[in-house]
């Protein structure tokens, strides 16, 4: 009986190991050469670039990026309404947003702006991800979007914006772990047969 208990304990350990050993962090990036828009074009909001999200992605672990985003129009500078932002988007609907870079104006300089989601924003992003009903096969994308200022004379430019997304994929038992699990199960069967033969 002690042999049976020992084998069963090993089996339970292998089962637990097989479900957690293969968690995979995947990193995806998207970039464009540049983005340019003036208020005179009348565009209020548009996609710049994006990374498609699949049902296998369980959790975002980090969202980072950088760009040289600026306003070189002749109107008043208004970074609060002239900016790039990140959005988790399902179809035409924003599920989550965060400011990526503001259209600052510093003469002829093009300041580099780094982006990283805060802990609280990342938590909100993952909550929005968990709320998605994947059974409907939705098109979900983490996008970098532009919100050009509506005032005449203002412009929004961004040189080589980059969006990088790190996520944890759904855990799948590794082949080696599954094989070990099968061996453990075979051990249980053999131990039980041996015990029954001894009893007879």
- Write the CATH number for 126: 2.60.120
Whether 89 and 183 map to the same domain: the answer is: no
Residues of the chain with pLDDT under 50: 1, 4, 8, 16-21
Cα dihedral 39/157/161/69 (nearest 10): -110
Whether 64 and 113 map to the same domain: the answer is: yes
Whether 156 and 189 map to the same domain: the answer is: no
Domain total of the chain: 2
Domain that holds residue 7: 1-22+172-200
Whether 119 and 65 map to the same domain: the answer is: yes
Asked whether the beta carbons of 74 and 153 are under 8 A apart, the reply is yes
Whether 49 and 147 map to the same domain: the answer is: yes
Asked whether the beta carbons of 87 and 142 are under 8 A apart, the reply is yes
pLDDT digits (tens, 9 = 90+) for 80-94: 889 999 999 999 999
Q: Tell me the sheet residues that pair with 141.
A: 52, 89
Q: How confident is the model at residue 21, as a pLDDT?
A: 47
Q: How confident is the model at residue 121, as a pLDDT?
A: 98
Whether 56 and 77 map to the same domain: the answer is: yes
pLDDT digits (tens, 9 = 90+) for 55-70: 888 899 999 999 999 9
């Amino acid at each position: 009986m002690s042999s049976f208990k020992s084998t069963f304990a090993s089996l339970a350990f292998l089962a637990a190991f097989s479900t957690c050993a293969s968690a995979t962090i995947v990193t995806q990036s998207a970039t464009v050469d540049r983005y340019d828009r003036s208020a005179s074009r009348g565009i209020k909001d548009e996609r710049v670039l994006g990374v498609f999200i699949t049902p296998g992605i369980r959790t975002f672990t980090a969202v980072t990026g950088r760009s040289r985003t600026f306003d070189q129009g002749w109107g008043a500078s208004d970074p609060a309404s002239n900016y790039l932002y990140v959005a988790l988007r399902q179809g035409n609907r924003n599920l989550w947003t965060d400011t990526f870079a503001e259209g600052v104006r510093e003469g002829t300089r093009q300041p580099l702006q780094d982006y990283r989601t805060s802990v609280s924003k990342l938590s909100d992003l993952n909550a929005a991800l968990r709320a998605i009903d994947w059974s409907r096969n939705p098109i979900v994308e983490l996008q970098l979007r532009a919100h050009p200022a509506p005032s005449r004379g203002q412009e929004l430019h961004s040189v080589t914006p980059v969006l990088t997304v790190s996520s944890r994929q759904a855990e799948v038992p590794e082949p080696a772990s599954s094989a070990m699990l099968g061996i453990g199960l075979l051990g249980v069967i053999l131990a039980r047969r041996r015990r029954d033969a001894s009893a007879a």
